[in-house]
Amino acid sequence: MYQEKTSMHTPNLLYIIALSLLIPCLFLNCTKRIQQTAEQSQENAFEKKTAPIAKEIRTFFLVRHAEKVLTGKNPSLTKAGQERAEELARLLEEVPIDAIYSTDYKRTMETAMPTATAKNIAIETYDPSDLEAFSASFQGPSENKKILIVGHSNTTPALINIFANSNQYSSLSEKQYDNLYILSSVDRKVVDVLTIKYGKVSPF
């Protein structure tokens, strides 16, 4: 009688032991899976929060007008100046210029004209005596991303200083015509100014 009871309860005992070993394992795996899911959710949320935000990028090309006739109150360009204006257009041939600005003088308009003609863009004028107001016009959102601005020996460096919040750029000499300044702006803040030479080298 005793042996029969033992044989009947032995499988139940083994079953209980097996369950006692299996349940913790199942619980542990479930806990790990929940923890991994939670960690993955946190990572996804973090990635969403840290996703890169689109930035507004602009490029300004600033030049002084090309060589001018030395007589008259509103002189035109010399032959050398006309050649430099054509060279500016060739230099910017592959650049998708969106807008062109010039002061309302013959020498600046004539410097901008070859590029404006090549790009089929109307030249807009600005007041060189109020550069603060002109620079402020670029503080809002705009479709214009690449902009050519033609100025003078004093106004071009002054405008760069305003854009870049700098005092680094001083007026050009009367004989200096070959500087092209390229300003890179991100979210309406200039982050880099590159100066290159173009056309025939000017004496200082």
| Structural tokens at position 19 | 């369950």
- Domain shared by 12 and 113, yes or no: no
Q: Are 183 and 193 in contact (CB under 8 A)?
A: yes
Domain membership flag for residue 202:
no
- Domain shared by 89 and 43, yes or no: no
Task: Return all residues near 83 (Cβ < 8 A) that are at least 6 apart.
Answer: 66, 199, 200
Number of C-beta neighbours around residue 90 at 10 A: 13
- Domain shared by 97 and 114, yes or no: yes
Domain count, the chain: 2
pLDDT of residue 7: 45
pLDDT of residue 102: 98
- Domain shared by 46 and 62, yes or no: no
- Tell the burial category of 121 from Cβ atoms under 10 Å away from its Cβ (0-12, 13-18, 19+): middle
Domain membership flag for residue 203:
no
Q: Alpha-carbon distance 193 to 160, whole Å? A: 8
Per the DSSP assignment, residues forming a β-bridge with 182 are 61, 194
Task: Count Cα neighbours of 102 within 13 Å in the Cβ-side half-sphere.
Answer: 21
Per the DSSP assignment, residues forming a β-bridge with 190 are 185
pLDDT of residue 56: 85
pLDDT of residue 203: 82
- Domain shared by 93 and 145, yes or no: yes
Domain membership flag for residue 204:
no
| Residue numbers of the domain that contains 101 | 57-197
Residue 131, domain CATH: 3.40.50.1240
Rounded to 5°, angle at Cα 113 from 190 and 182: 20
Chunked into runs of 10 residues, the chain (204 residues) has average pLDDT values of: 46 51 50 55 56 77 97 95 98 96 98 98 97 93 90 97 94 95 90 94 83
